[in-house]
Chain A
Amino acid sequence: MIASGKLPDVIWLDRGADVERLRAADMLVPFDEYLDKYPNFKKWVGEEAINMLRSSDGKIYQFPNWYTSQPIGNSGYLVNKKIYESLGSPVIETTDDFYNYLKQVKEKYPNVTPFNPDLAIDGQGLDVLFGGFANDYTPAYVANRAVPQGDKLTSLFVDPVFRESMQYASKLFREKLMTQDALTQTKDQVKEQAYNGTAAVFAGASPTEYGAVGDSELKKKDPNDGYIMIWPVHKPGVDKNKVWTGTYTQLGWNVSVITKSAKDPEKIFAFLDYLTGPEGTRTLFWGPEGKYWNGHDEDGAPIFTEAYDTDVEGRTKMMDATVNFQWNGNSVFIDKSKMKHELTLPVDKQSWEARWQNEITWKTQDNATQFINMAPAPDSEEGIIAASFEEIYKEARAKALYAKSDEEVLSILDKAEKDAQAVGYEKLLAYKTAKWQENLKSMQGN
């Protein structure tokens, strides 16, 4: 399509290099002149995000999906309620408390896995632990394999916080407080443990998914059983309000672009703008007015009918049918409307997920928008370095987890640092630093 030049009116694609390629080939229509005429884009996407979305010529060509200006995300710690209460509901705030709690579980319940870090091979629970070892150390540092120091990004392997968190994780593993299958288990095995209540604590990037199902499964057998979430644990001395278990970015991941093949680009923009506004979102997300909602409040949030709560099956079916049309979903509007409604319900009627998102997970996700678009093109020199680095990183992290002592963890990370430097880690970090600085600049609107 790109080569033939015969483009559709609108393309929905990944934010990133392809958009820039299309723009550079002069195939896209800029939105700038429509912004003031149609207010929703400006109002809901926000000035900072719009600046980030601007192309190098200073114009804006892309309409994002699921953009947000407030934290979203589900990462954190999931705790088995029955086990927790049977051990006297101890305080679990610091990493020491956490360690002691897991030890207690192991003593009292030899057949229960004290801690399951989800698919640790992808980070998951290990990354969640990492966030507790220093103020404002987000898992994005691990995900980018680079730690900011001043205005530069530096090696992860020599970062004292990363090293300490790996020592802690290794200790949990060594003392069999963490599942011995951490790196090999499948998602099904994780879910099985969650649904049968055979692990005391889970941590991961989205434990609410199996937490919600597990909660209702366990409650079927015993109404006092189920899952709760706890505020993320942190090293003594770290401010609990500066602990992040996960991140979100303001810009979503897909974008809609309007091509020069479109006959009337303004009308297309007007339509997209309508879709992302309150009326469009209400209608697309919860169906036409009358069935599941009737009228709206001053913020535009729909007033849900009784059918919304009682006819869950029908509502889900309706919502599933339109989910693929959410080209420019408005996260904040939807989440706020949902939450407003949930909070009018008594606690036991609230959805499990909504409750914990509201109480914990949304408060412990950090904004990582400054770290977007940092991966080099895979066939570039930096991309080849990144691929080699990735192998070194994955092997080192696994070996460090299996290490027999805290000293061994450090020596494994030291060796990894040496290997990484040999394949050109420094060059990769320089590339990422440059990208990061660019992001910071464009966020400030320069």
Chain B
Amino acid sequence: MAEIAAVTERQQALKKKTKLGRLIKQWDLQLMVIPALLLILVFSYFPMYGVLMAFQDYNIFKGFLDSPWAGFKHFEMFFNAPEFYKVMRNTIVISFLKLVIGFPAPIVLALMLNEVKNMYFKRIVQTVSYLPHFLSWVIVSGFAISILSTENGSLNMLLQSVKLIDEPIGFLAIPEYFWTIIVTTGVWKEIGFGSIVYLAAIAGIDPSMYEAASIDGASRFKQIFLITIPTIMPVVIIFMILAIGNLLSAGFEDLLLLGVNPVLRPVSDVLDTYVYRTGISGQRFSYATAVGLFKAIISVGLLTFANLLARRTGNSLW
């Protein structure tokens, strides 16, 4: 018995040594990690002391150290604010819609592109579809506003010329249309870029699997559902977890730029735009920080929860 224990001990010691040994062996590679770690430390962790503002009555002239503490005052104020219900509802609905529609869209595009056999066509589609990712929201919303305009808007002109409508529709003035517009423009902008990852995952699939399947008589659709999708599932799940962690980030620039019409406020106001308006424009720094912190805490919770679910499938993030 004692002998066995001694052996395992020695084995463990050896293991430890080899771990350290491996680290030392790869010292040049490990060195390359340090800048990334520093970057995260300096730009993500260090500024976190700023969240203390949420518990202070921050005064820009007094600074951090001399501003009086206020406890949970700002949180309470937010929970009791008349905008609370509206802002929370919009945030959840918009981000949920973006998740349900915006998340599968690039996967579908990648699957479809994978079936395109003409390389030129495939390349052109890929390039064209991922270009919008590099345009800023200022430009994209400019496009959207002029397309959706009531006067000389291309969409209205199109619908009128095919006699679907008699009078132009004020798309950007009707709250019912807003969520559709925001989700559509978001998908249009990001679908191509989002599909790159999935295309890469698909490219990694062993072609012999498809060959075997076609010998067994599997149709193209069967191949997609039985080979392609299950093989890229781990990638899909990882991105899903990240997307769920971002669930409360309904978007910011797009909503700010496309939702300018005050009539849309009841459907367009989300946590981020609310923080921007009260904090930056209204200079209520502590209050805005409290709202932002509230959002961050819920996001971390959601991320952990999604990861927990994913662990069951064996594809969790950590």
Contacts and interface: CB of A to CB of B under 8 A. Distances in A.
Say whether A and B bind each other: yes
Nearest to A388: B82
B230 interface: no
Contacts of B277: 387
Interface in B23-67: 61, 63
Interface in A362-398: 378-379, 383-384, 387-388, 391, 394-395, 397-398
Given A379-B284, A387-B278, A185 B265 contact: no
B168 interface: yes
Nearest to A386: B282
A189 interface: yes
B284 A402 contact: no
Interface stretch (B5-13, B144-152, B231-239): B144-152
Interface in B75-113: 82-83
A388 B142 CA distance: 28
B262 A184 contact: no
Given A2-B61, A399-B263, A184 B145 contact: yes
A395 B263 contact: yes
Interface residues of B, number: 27
A279 B82 CA distance: 58
A3 B61 CA distance: 7
A391 B149 contact: no
A121 interface: yes
Contacts of A399: 262-263
Contact of A387 (B145, B151, B282): B282
Contacts of B262: 121, 183, 391, 394-395, 397-399
A186 B172 CA distance: 12
Contact of B142 (A183, A188, A394, A423): A188
B151 A180 contact: yes
A422 to B, nearest CB: 9
A398 to B, nearest CB: 4
A395 B261 CA distance: 8
Contacts of B260: 121, 183-184
A189 B146 contact: yes
Given A121-B260, A121-B262, A181 B82 contact: no
Interface in A199-228: none
Contact of A113 (B151, B168, B172): B151
B127 interface: no
B145 A186 contact: yes
B283 interface: yes
B182 to A, nearest CB: 14
Nearest to A397: B262
A402 B61 contact: no
A329 B35 CA distance: 50
**Of A21, A121, A181, A383, most B-chain CB atoms within 10 Å:** A181
Nearest to B168: A180
B71 interface: no
Contacts of B172: 181, 184
Contacts of B152: 198
A189 B143 CA distance: 11
A357 interface: no
Contacts of A388: 82
Nearest to A121: B260
Nearest to A111: B152
B153 to A, nearest CB: 8
B213 interface: no
A387 to B, nearest CB: 5
**Of A184, A378, A387, most B-chain CB atoms within 10 Å:** A184
Contacts of A433: none
A179 interface: yes
B170 interface: yes
B173 interface: yes
A246 B280 CA distance: 28
A2 B61 CA distance: 8
A189 B265 CA distance: 22
Contact of B282 (A21, A121, A186, A378): A378
A394 B265 CA distance: 10
Contacts of A21: 61
Given A179-B151, A180-B168, A402 B263 contact: yes
Interface string A100-137: 00000000000001000000010000000000000000
Contact of A391 (B142, B145, B170, B265): B265
Interface string A143-169: 000000000000000000000000000
Interface in B246-298: 260-263, 265-266, 277-278, 282-284
A384 B215 CA distance: 72
B150 A181 contact: yes
Contacts of A391: 83, 262, 265
Contacts of B151: 113, 179-181
Contacts of A397: 262
Contact of B265 (A179, A181, A395, A402): A395
A2 B166 CA distance: 63
B111 to A, nearest CB: 37
Given A21-B61, A113-B151, A183 B282 contact: no
Contacts of A394: 262, 265
Contacts of B173: 180, 183-184, 402
B261 A185 contact: no
A12 to B, nearest CB: 19
Given A378-B284, A398-B261, A398-B262, A180 B170 contact: yes
Contacts of A183: 173, 260-263
A364 B151 CA distance: 31
- The 3 closest A-B CB pairs, nearest first, are A180-B150, A394-B262, A398-B262
19 contacts: A113-B151, A179-B150, A180-B170, A181-B149, A181-B153, A183-B173, A184-B173, A185-B149, A188-B142, A189-B145, A189-B146, A198-B152, A378-B282, A387-B284, A394-B262, A395-B263, A398-B262, A398-B263, A399-B263
Given A183-B262, A183-B263, A185-B145, 5 more contacts: A2-B61, A3-B63, A180-B150, A183-B173, A198-B152
